[in-house]
Structure 1
Amino acid sequence: MSFDLDNMAQGCCEWLRGSGPESDIVISSRVRLARNLSDFPFIARASTADREQIEQILHERFEAIRASGKLGGQLHYVDVEELQDVDRQFLVERQLISREHAEAEGARSVVIDANEKYSVMINEEDHLRIQVMHSGLDVEHAWQLISELDDLIEEQVTYAYNDRLGYLTACPTNVGTGVRVSVMLHLPALVITRQIDKVFRSLQKINLAVRGLYGEGSQAMGDFYQISNQVTLGMGETELASKVADVVPVLLDYERQARDFLIRESQETLHDRVSRAYGILRTAQTISSEETLHLLSSVRMGVNLGLIGDVAIPTVNKLFVHTQPAHLQKLAGMELDQSDRNIERASYLRRHLNQGGAKPGSN
């Protein structure tokens, strides 16, 4: 169940494939489950020996699941504790583990399928954090897969469960179903037209949380936003999934209206913004990760609006993750300090955006 992270770096991750329904705006759909083993204390109260035993037990159980072939694909087991810092950051950038999981200490690991559609963090805030991701707006299929995976795991272990409260979790907001449903959206037009704060205040009124690119506590880099449920207690699994999925079409409509407004009322300004972003990315000799994400956001919108005709959305999506610090170092095959990363990032962008040679605005 070993995993070749160097080979993995060459491809694109599931959440940025650019396929699936409504993928011009909806980057990915994710369902996450929090689960704990009944015979051990929560991670915050677990001893070093407890953590090691939990990790060992779950490693053995996932070996049994893999051997059964019931999931139909390959499972890869990664010991996060033994990884170098750059490899941990690499898994964070691919959304396969959380930043907290990367930065923690002690026995911890992650199980990943070969297609990166699901991952299972072991010894994060809970003993198990199971997540499934699908490209585009596809909450239903993500839910089907995670339900199947959850059932397979529950055949191997006994979860901490209370007849009245439901699944017991380290954080009270996850008690009940332990489900968090989230959809990642690319909303550059709402940002440009300064409507984004109003939209998010409306979401908070219906108990939906808004987070950045890498979840709780992260910034909305590249105009990416994750919309998810805040609480699980007292709500059924289907109800939770529907609550998030039902509001997404409204957000899509808002973003498309904002894009139409920009095309109709300020097309020259919009075209200038997109062209400048594309030009900088194609010619820069040194560029930061933050600026790259900001400019790629404009380019991605420009491609979707037909303002740029010589670069494909999958290429732009791939650049969002391949220009992140850990990915750059994995692709370069060496550790790089910040200055060298900025130079390598600019070089990588020039190589991938100058292949077509057409001018911005060509169709």
Structure 2
Amino acid sequence: MDLLTKNTRLKKIFDELFIDDDPVVFTTRLRIARNLENYVFPHCITKKDAGYLVDEVLMALRGFQGTFFVVPMAEIDNLTREFFVERHIISPEFAEDDPSKVLILFPEKGIRILVNEEDHLRISICGKKKNLEKMWNILNIFDDNLSRKLNYAFDDGFGYLTSCPTNLGSALRASALLFMPALKMAREIKKIFDTTLKPGYLLRGFYGEGSQSMGNLYQVATGPALGKKEQDIYKDVISIIEVLKQHEFATMEKINIRYIKTGIKNFLDKVYNSNSGIDSQKAIKGISLLLFGKNLGIIKVEAKLLKMLVYRVLPASIQIEAGGALEPEERDLFRVQMLRQELRGAYV
């Protein structure tokens, strides 16, 4: 946690999530996987060679324009690692006390590199749906520059060689975190996903593969990249978003607004008047109701504030905000006090 409390600039980077102003889209992401020619894949690599690989990557980044931060996972505490997971900076599997796992951040470019994850390099950029083409151009130029310093594992027939065969080809995956409460209430998400969208698209939970939905938030992602052009891949995710968005809006018209209003009033009453705390799951459920109410036009509150609150109420994030580790009961009390302050102007 010292990493964040002492470096206010770095803390600001993590607080400034690329929240979309779209009512359904939280954020979109492009991610490429790269491996180095002279090393075995991460699941087979020795700790010694993994360390050499980190050194080689850092050497290659010397001379790159712009400031970047290097964050070895072994040099930060559990709370900070959990915070990174909550903010979708790293994957849950990456949050280990392992000196060979290193996070590299280029804040001006919005680029993040995970070294020694499932692949040697997972390079990603996050942003708004409308900026996907610009995001791809930034990521592509960065990757081209890095490829001049590192020997990527590449095959003329299969493209970039990756740990998982589904990433072969361009090794690009596009994804979006979507807010779909109406479809969730109507139990229509999986049905629409299975019957309307092309095979290969992926539906995941809040933290990606293997996780559950939280606050009516789902991650949707493009599938295998082999044989597809990069532009077609990131345009695919736009198509996914638009299809699901249309179904979400159509389903919203069938929702019992009185039920939503009652849920919102009960949550706000708890926030404003209760002397007890509120845990993260109940907080996220309540914030999700508020955001749904905003989309339905029955509550006046800034959508971006609500989207940020989804992250801020999570266990590690609330402790970072409080300035130190807290017991569960202390977290719950601090959380409700923070919500009371932030939602003081919210009303139905």
Same fold (TM over 0.5): yes
Q: What is the identity percentage for the equivalent residue pairs of Structure 1 and Structure 2? A: 29
Q: Which position in structure 2 is the counterpart of 1:343?
A: 333
Contact residue 26 and residue 307 of structure 2 kept, 8 A: no
Contact residue 185 and residue 225 of structure 1 kept, 8 A: yes
Q: What is the CA–CA distance in structure 2 between the aligned matches of 1:348 and 1:324, rounded to whole Å?
A: 12
Moved more, 196-205 or 162-171: 196-205
Q: What is the CA–CA distance in structure 2 between the aligned matches of 1:256 and 1:280, rounded to whole Å?
A: 29
- Deviation (angstroms), 1:235: 2.0
Q: What is the CA–CA distance in structure 1 between the aligned matches of 2:59 and 2:270, rounded to whole Å?
A: 50
Q: Which position in structure 1 is the counterpart of 2:258?
A: 268
Q: What is the CA–CA distance in structure 2 between the aligned matches of 1:316 and 1:124, rounded to whole Å?
A: 31
Q: How does 1:25-64 map to 2 (within 5 A)?
A: 25-64=24-63
Q: Which position in structure 1 is the counterpart of 2:173?
A: 180
SS of 1:198's partner is: helix
Q: What is the CA–CA distance in structure 1 between the aligned matches of 2:252 and 2:17, rounded to whole Å?
A: 23
Pair 1:306 & 2:318 matched: no
Pair 1:95 & 2:88 matched: yes
- Deviation (angstroms), 1:318: 1.7
Superposed CA deviations along residues 140-196 of structure 1, whole A, max 9, x for unmatched, are 222222112211211211100011110001111111111111011100111122222
Counterpart among 179, 186, 192 of residue 199 in structure 1:
192
Contact residue 18 and residue 126 of structure 2 kept, 8 A: no
Q: Which position in structure 1 is the counterpart of 2:211?
A: 218
Q: What is the CA–CA distance in structure 2 between the aligned matches of 1:204 and 1:47, rounded to whole Å?
A: 41
Q: What is the CA–CA distance in structure 1 between the aligned matches of 2:257 and 2:208, rounded to whole Å?
A: 33
- CA 1:187–1:24: 2 relative to 1, 3 Å: same
Q: Gaps spanning 5+ residues in structure 1: where?
A: none
Pair 1:259 & 2:261 matched: no
- CA 1:44–1:244: 2 relative to 1, 3 Å: same
SS of 2:37's partner is: coil
- Deviation (angstroms), 1:340: 2.2
What amino acid does structure 2 have at the position aligned with 1:244?
A: V
What amino acid does structure 2 have at the position aligned with 1:319?
A: L
Q: What is the CA–CA distance in structure 1 between the aligned matches of 2:286 and 2:58, rounded to whole Å?
A: 42
Pair 1:17 & 2:19 matched: yes
Q: What is the CA–CA distance in structure 1 between the aligned matches of 2:109 and 2:319, rounded to whole Å?
A: 20
Q: What is the CA–CA distance in structure 1 between the aligned matches of 2:100 and 2:55, rounded to whole Å?
A: 9
What amino acid does structure 2 have at the position aligned with 1:17?
A: I
Q: Which position in structure 2 is the counterpart of 1:245?
A: 238
- CA 1:86–1:319: 2 relative to 1, 3 Å: same
- Deviation (angstroms), 1:37: 0.8
Q: What is the CA–CA distance in structure 1 between the aligned matches of 2:143 and 2:167, rounded to whole Å?
A: 16
- Deviation (angstroms), 1:332: 1.3
Q: What is the CA–CA distance in structure 2 between the aligned matches of 1:105 and 1:268, rounded to whole Å?
A: 51
- CA 1:140–1:13: 2 relative to 1, 3 Å: farther
What amino acid does structure 2 have at the position aligned with 1:59?
A: L
Contact residue 28 and residue 176 of structure 2 kept, 8 A: yes
Q: What is the CA–CA distance in structure 2 between the aligned matches of 1:216 and 1:320, rounded to whole Å?
A: 20
Q: Which position in structure 1 is the counterpart of 2:285?
A: 294
- Deviation (angstroms), 1:86: 0.6
Q: Which position in structure 2 is the counterpart of 1:142?
A: 135
Contact residue 26 and residue 137 of structure 1 kept, 8 A: no
Contact residue 213 and residue 219 of structure 1 kept, 8 A: yes
- Deviation (angstroms), 1:17: 2.7
SS of 1:45's partner is: coil
Root-mean-square deviation (CA), in Å? 2.1
Superposed CA deviations along residues 180-230 of structure 1, whole A, max 9, x for unmatched, are 110111001111222223123236752100011111111110111111122
Q: What is the CA–CA distance in structure 2 between the aligned matches of 1:99 and 1:342, rounded to whole Å?
A: 23
Q: Gaps spanning 5+ residues in structure 2: where?
A: none
What amino acid does structure 1 have at the position aligned with 2:270?
A: I
Q: What is the CA–CA distance in structure 2 between the aligned matches of 1:129 and 1:52, rounded to whole Å?
A: 16
- Deviation (angstroms), 1:231: 1.2
Moved more, 341-350 or 281-290: 281-290
Q: Which position in structure 2 is the counterpart of 1:234?
A: 227
- CA 1:81–1:11: 2 relative to 1, 3 Å: closer
- Deviation (angstroms), 1:14: 4.8
Which TM-score applies when normalising by structure 2?
0.92
Which TM-score applies when normalising by structure 1?
0.88
Q: What is the CA–CA distance in structure 2 between the aligned matches of 1:328 and 1:131, rounded to whole Å?
A: 26
